[in-house]
Structure 1
Amino acid sequence: MVRTPTTLTAFAAVDLGATSGRVMLGLVRDAATVDLVETGRFPNGPVTAPDGESLHWDVLRLWEGVVDGLREAGRVAATHGVELSGVGVDSWAVDYGLVGDDEHLVRPARCYRDPRFLDVADGVYERVPASEHYAVNGLQHLPFTTEFQLVDEVTGGAGEAFAAARTLLLIPDLITFWLSGRRVAEVTNASTTGLLDARARTWSSALLGRLAAEYPGLGRLPALLPELVEAGTVVGELGPWVRARTGLGPVPVVAVASHDTAAAVVGTPLPARQGDEVAAYVSSGTWSLVGLELDAPVLTEASRAAGFTNELGLDGTVRYLHNVMGLWVLDECRREWARTGDPVDLGELLAAAAAEPGGRTVVDLDDPAFLAPGDMPRRVAHAAARAGQPVPATRAQTARAVLDSLAAAYARTIHQAAALAGVRVTQVHVVGGGSRNALLCRLTADATGLPVVAGPVEAAALGNVLVQARAVGVLVDDDVDDDGGPRGLGGLRDVVAASSDLVRIDPARIDPAR
């Protein structure tokens, strides 16, 4: 038997989350499967300013972790006989850095969990109604959306830094700029700012003008917003300083689907839409992003009132979703228990939670009380008491309450999304860290009455790598998939499925609406 030599290409995916960042080496074999190797991991988290209240990100520490991870990615790729063919960055949304005339930040990047943002939106809506916002940007109300941060920027005493800035760069665009020297805004993340026209996929001159009229300090904002590019644009090559630090060559830098949820949706093996039948997704991590992939935004008043958002995706798609407070709540519970000197093993906690009666305590995890770091077990108990539900008395009961509440929120969100978009959901795909939580996936199947497909865990990194691979020609659009169609999103997802160990969980009962 004659073996065909394996064609191997390598890409570095920088994936920055709110609690940690990492660099993943993606080894693409024969343009058919991807193996991921972690080459760098580093902590992240909000840093409290000296005033004891405002929160910032230590972006320079993240940058050091990125550089170290890229150096290691190059070394590991070399052991496989290849060099890197691309680098791409994805991260959480809405937060940004203000960059001066050089490459430096004019002040530390603020964190969306900063409590100062909580009351800004109400004042903005008094001047520019929420319905007027939604008709343009299609975003659900979140108190920390970039536009509200910017209003606080110019009205809350930080206007000096704003005036000194030359460019506003969202976090992945900032790292991309430091890697390549080019200032751009990738559209999937830009769509979370509140400043984009969801239909036209461009900065909204109308909304920018309305904001400037109400807040004159924002008059120079259009000049700070960089050129928009679609996911899959090669923006440049690694700059000389980065090459010197990493030992890498002139590797292409690709603007991937840079919102980590957009990358994760690319890396979700969703089946192609069949008529009005679609699959839902849950990108389950610190946040849970629950929704559908559509061809056009849903900008109705009913959609706005239900709190759904229209964020942009790869290849002209729309991520129609709702942000649900995610595993952050359970993680904060465990951090609090560890802080008080009695850490809890996650596996043991989940096993104990599975033994608890289900549906006993279900609370609204979207309550802003769960947003900031702090004593989360106490907040869960208070929420249960306020709702007239049994107050968890043990750690296992607290964990079960959090997971039951998450599953209920997933089910509610999926059914609402389907009704508002006029489609029928046939299955649910759970990706990200939550896909490893067998109890959460089982509870989600039971709550929705739909089959759940769990995996891949590393959906965002896979999506990041695959967009890069297509951008540099390793995955070619004029290839055809098994159905004879162009190798677009469906072709990328064939690679995801071939690269992943997927687990199907059927519900204890079938949704009667199906």
Structure 2
Amino acid sequence: MSERYLAVVDLGAESGRVHLARYDGQRLALEEVHRFANGPVALQRHLYWNVLALWQEVISGLRKARRLAGRLDSIGVDTWGVDYVLLDDQGLLLGLPFHYRDRRTEGLMEEVFARVPREEIYAQTGIQFMPINTLYQLLAHQREQPHLLENATHLLLMPDLFHYWLSGERLCEYTNATTTQCWSVPHGSWARDLLARLGLPTHFLPQVVAPGTPLGTVQGELAEELGEDVQVIASATHDTAAAVAGIPMPANPRDRAYISSGTWSLVGLELPQPQIAQGCASNFTNEGGIFGTVRFLRNVMGLWLLQECRRSWQEGGRSFTYEQLLTLAEEAPAWAVLFDPDHPLFLPPGDMPARIRQQLGAHGQPVPAAEDISTLVRAILDSLILRYRQVLELAASITGCALQTVHIVGGGAQNRWLNQGLADATGLTVIAGPIEATAQGNALLQLVGLGELRSLEEVRTLAARSTITQTFLPDPGWRAAWDEAYARFTTLFPLTLPLQ
């Protein structure tokens, strides 16, 4: 066979990347050709995504990939979940897309539960209750701009928008549709009855296609630049679905968990079917995966805590690399202070160091001085590891899986300190890598769309063949100390029902 050249567009909450993926029939190789910053734009008390600037960067990256490879076989885009755009009958934007950290959804979950019990919502959608979910964003949109919802002809999630601009097709991909809390797990379709009970219109909901579906070729002027026969493929368009697809683990493992570690940490298992009955009580999410799998997981606030602290310190005139912050953390005493990393106070942007100190004081923990950066960074890392352990133990208890191994993928896989700490705290083997699991999963599902791969087993075999990983074994000498810290942490911060 001739070599395949795939353009992988991976848009994260902090940065975007365009990779050129090469497939020679045996291995998949990724090369980053373009990287750019991404983040919210504040305007008139709201946060938005600068989607037009993102589009310009995406096109720049695709041009670079085409020049480097000489030709492209396909293009696929993945992004974060839950956010959306509205289009009119001509396919034009009806405003900028809101950022999921915008405050417009505050308090809406409680209003919704007064109208439809949370148990009924979960029985339909199987999704973790979080104020960022599309369901609450749509209700906020209806409250503030009802005319836009009524006049919109199409709703597209973020990767669908880029696929539409590339191919002309206005469709939604399954793995991302399931993140919205607007998708019915029992019916395998949009939860129109639930949305109607909440007074939301449904006329603009798009057709949903499976991951790995070809949408058509690049259209318009872009076809002249990128190639008239380049396929646009809806891979696994939700970045976590793509990351899990790219993990070098067996299909449907019973002894392995994963953490997709980046701005958010997604901690969970790959299962053959959803866990609705017990998932509701523990506020887990049942998101769609590839080839009929389910991503049974919980969202943990993740490295957003460190990112926002770093940004705040930089604005105050103290700049640090992430490596420098990890070095500082090693200087602080272990488990000196702990906090709940998933407290809703930490969701929006702002002065994260002050917020963490506020929460430490509220729970009777010693409050480090503002200049004591090492203690604060150590508190973030320790608290994240202990929350990971909580989620992993609960997931294993619910599903009956006897976990032996945790795969950490994404940017957090580079954090050796975090990886070894997790192994020591849990007694599990930690396998780190690939760092670019999302891009790898995106490319693998493009190969499905091109007919090169046909099953979950083939996807995972190629992922394993194409990945270099690093293994972290637990050090038994640390387990007793971690267990003591864990007992204190779980007493202070038991896993709760929906974020209040």
TM-score range, shorter chain: over 0.9
Q: 1:229 aligns with which of 188, 202, 209?
A: 209
User: How far apart, CA to CA, are the structure 1 residues paired with 2:41 and 2:141?
Assistant: 18
Q: Is the 8 A contact 1:12 1:73 kept in 2?
A: yes
Deviations 1:306-336 (A, max 9, x none): 1101000000000000000010110111111
Corresponding residue for residue 154 of structure 1: 142
Q: Name the SS for the 2:22 alignment partner.
A: strand
Corresponding residue for residue 500 of structure 1: 467
Query: Structure 1 stretches of 5 or more lacking a match?
Result: 1-5, 478-487
Q: Name the SS for the 2:339 alignment partner.
A: coil
Deviations 1:394-425 (A, max 9, x none): 21111111011111111100110111122221
Deviations 1:45-96 (A, max 9, x none): 11112x2x11111111111111111111101112xxxx21111111000000
Corresponding residue for residue 248 of structure 2: 269
Corresponding residue for residue 248 of structure 1: 227
Superposition deviation, residue 247 in structure 1: 3.8
Q: 1:56 aligns with which of 48, 51, 54?
A: 48
User: How far apart, CA to CA, are the structure 2 residues paired with 1:58 and 1:316?
Assistant: 33
Deviations 1:345-393 (A, max 9, x none): 2212212212322222221010011111111111111111112223234
Corresponding residue for residue 347 of structure 1: 323
Q: 1:24 aligns with which of 19, 22, 26?
A: 19
Q: Give the counterpart letter for 1:72 in structure 2.
A: K
Q: Which moved more, 1:460-469 or 1:416-425?
A: 416-425
Q: Name the SS for the 2:179 alignment partner.
A: coil
Corresponding residue for residue 447 of structure 2: 469
User: How far apart, CA to CA, are the structure 2 residues paired with 1:383 and 1:293?
Assistant: 33
Q: Is the 8 A contact 1:392 1:401 kept in 2?
A: no
User: How far apart, CA to CA, are the structure 2 residues paired with 1:205 and 1:395?
Assistant: 49
Corresponding residue for residue 457 of structure 1: 435
Corresponding residue for residue 480 of structure 1: none
Q: Is the 8 A contact 2:251 2:460 kept in 1?
A: no
Is residue 184 of structure 1 aligned with residue 171 of structure 2?
yes
Q: Name the SS for the 2:476 alignment partner.
A: coil
Superposition deviation, residue 250 in structure 1: 2.4
Corresponding residue for residue 84 of structure 2: 96
Query: Structure 2 stretches of 5 or more lacking a match?
Result: 484-500
Q: Name the SS for the 1:490 alignment partner.
A: helix
Corresponding residue for residue 292 of structure 1: 269
Corresponding residue for residue 36 of structure 2: 42
User: How far apart, CA to CA, are the structure 1 residues paired with 2:181 and 2:86?
Assistant: 17
Superposition deviation, residue 104 in structure 1: 1.6
Q: Give the counterpart letter for 2:9 in structure 1.
A: V
Superposition deviation, residue 7 in structure 1: 4.5
Deviations 1:447-503 (A, max 9, x none): 22211000000000000001001211223x2xxxxxxxxxx2232122222222201
User: How far apart, CA to CA, are the structure 1 residues paired with 2:348 and 2:192?
Assistant: 33
Corresponding residue for residue 114 of structure 2: 126
Q: Name the SS for the 1:89 alignment partner.
A: strand
Corresponding residue for residue 357 of structure 2: 381
Q: Percent identity?
A: 43
Deviations 1:176-210 (A, max 9, x none): 11110001110100001111112443112332332
Deviations 1:205-264 (A, max 9, x none): 3323322xxx2xx2xx321001010101111111123224x3433211111111000000
Corresponding residue for residue 330 of structure 1: 306
Q: Give the counterpart letter for 2:274 in structure 1.
A: P
Q: Is the 8 A contact 2:129 2:283 kept in 1?
A: yes
Q: Name the SS for the 1:257 alignment partner.
A: coil
Distance change in 2, residues 1:247/1:491 (3 Å): closer
User: How far apart, CA to CA, are the structure 1 residues paired with 2:300 and 2:6?
Assistant: 31
Alignment of 1:386-397 (within 5 A): 386-393=362-369, 394-397=372-375
Q: Name the SS for the 1:410 alignment partner.
A: helix
Q: 2:218 aligns with which of 230, 238, 262?
A: 238
Distance change in 2, residues 1:128/1:445 (3 Å): same
User: How far apart, CA to CA, are the structure 2 residues paired with 1:357 and 1:497?
Assistant: 38
Q: Name the SS for the 1:223 alignment partner.
A: coil
Distance change in 2, residues 1:495/1:373 (3 Å): same
Q: Give the counterpart letter for 1:397 in structure 2.
A: T
User: How far apart, CA to CA, are the structure 1 residues paired with 2:153 and 2:298?
Assistant: 33
Superposition deviation, residue 273 in structure 1: 4.4
Corresponding residue for residue 318 of structure 1: 294
TM-score relative to the length of structure 1: 0.90
User: How far apart, CA to CA, are the structure 1 residues paired with 2:251 and 2:209?
Assistant: 26
Report the number of matched residues. 478
Q: Is the 8 A contact 2:267 2:388 kept in 1?
A: yes
Superposition deviation, residue 434 in structure 1: 0.3
Is residue 509 of structure 1 aligned with residue 476 of structure 2?
yes
User: How far apart, CA to CA, are the structure 2 residues paired with 1:451 and 1:362?
Assistant: 24
User: How far apart, CA to CA, are the structure 2 residues paired with 1:445 and 1:344?
Assistant: 27
Q: Is the 8 A contact 1:9 1:28 kept in 2?
A: yes
TM-score relative to the length of structure 2: 0.92
Q: 1:427 aligns with which of 405, 408, 430?
A: 405
User: How far apart, CA to CA, are the structure 2 residues paired with 1:163 and 1:192?
Assistant: 23
Corresponding residue for residue 208 of structure 1: 195
Corresponding residue for residue 448 of structure 1: 426
Is residue 9 of structure 1 aligned with residue 4 of structure 2?
yes
Q: Name the SS for the 1:191 alignment partner.
A: helix
